[in-house]
């Protein structure tokens, strides 16, 4: 059970509903959207649905939680969100899904079309088991079980780690500063990225 009492949006749920939550993510400029996973691995969303960030297939806001059938039973392992907002998650099987705002290709599908429902992020990740995801304001990162790190999306400050400031439309392995190194944890600032190595070293890039 997750303590969701610190987020006002969860007062819309009954105590029974709130008590069944094992993982939750609240996002949006005023914390007006939420996604949560229950103990029996059902996935629900509710809130304002700005930029299709609820992934329900439409742009309608809802105060009543809607089930994301496509993700139920997937055993969600890691959740993250950007300020667009866009949402990224990975399952225990290592599969990555993304949806929401995509003005800078932060969904990793090679386009800038809005993602109205969860879609698997495939390019360069299909044969990888992803164990953690992280979102910046408009960029995304995924950490594979073998320690390789992939990044994509908005890159105005070099936050994708490609060595340039050109936007990256699909996942690309971060190699410039991490070649032959094994990453164990990741995090994103709005326009920056960080990685912790198995040696305990911390690397950062992007806006400083």
| pLDDT tens-digit map of 37-93 | 999 999 999 999 999 999 999 999 999 999 999 999 999 999 999 998 999 999 999
Average pLDDT over residues 161-167: 97
At residue 29 the predicted structure's pLDDT band, cuts being 50, 70 and 90, is confident
Cα–Cα–Cα angle for 113, 114, 116, nearest 5°?
135
At residue 177 the predicted structure's pLDDT band, cuts being 50, 70 and 90, is confident
pLDDT at 1: 64
8 A C-beta contact, residue 192 and residue 206: yes
pLDDT at 49: 95
What's the CA gap between 197 and 116, in Å, rounded? 35
Q: Which residue did the predictor score with more confidence, 3 or 89?
A: 89
pLDDT at 2: 81
Measure CA 140 to chain center. 7
The pTM for the full model equals 0.96
Which of 122, 127, 126, 96 shows the shortest CA–CA distance to 109? 122
Give me the residues paired with residue 49 across strands: none
Q: For 56, which DSSP code? A: S
DSSP string, 96-127: EEEEE--TTSTTSSSS---EEEEEE--TTTTT
Average pLDDT over residues 162-170: 97
pLDDT at 120: 98
Average pLDDT over residues 9-17: 95
8 A C-beta contact, residue 150 and residue 124: yes
| Domains (range + CATH), the chain | 8-206 (2.130.10.30)
């Amino acid at each position: 059970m997750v303590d969701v009492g610190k987020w006002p949006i969860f007062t819309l749920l009954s105590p029974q509903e709130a008590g069944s939550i094992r993982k939750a993510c609240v996002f949006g400029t005023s914390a007006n959207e939420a996604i949560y996973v229950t103990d029996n691995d059902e996935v629900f969303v509710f809130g304002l649905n700005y930029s299709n960030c609820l992934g329900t297939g439409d742009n309608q806001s809802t105060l009543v939680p809607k089930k994301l059938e496509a993700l139920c039973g997937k055993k969600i392992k890691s959740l993250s969100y950007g300020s667009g907002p866009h949402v990224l998650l990975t399952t225990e099987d290592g599969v990555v899904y993304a949806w929401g705002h995509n003005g800078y290709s932060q969904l990793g599908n090679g386009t800038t079309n809005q993602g109205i429902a969860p879609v698997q992020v495939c390019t360069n990740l299909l044969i990888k088991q992803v164990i953690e995801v992280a979102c910046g304001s408009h960029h995304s990162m995924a950490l594979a079980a073998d320690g390789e790190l992939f990044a994509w999306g908005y890159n105005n400050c070099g936050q994708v780690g490609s060595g340039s400031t050109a936007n990256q439309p699909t996942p690309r392995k971060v190699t410039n500063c991490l070649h032959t190194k094994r990453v164990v944890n990741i995090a994103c600032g709005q326009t920056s990225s960080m990685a912790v190595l198995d040696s305990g070293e911390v690397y950062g890039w992007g806006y400083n």
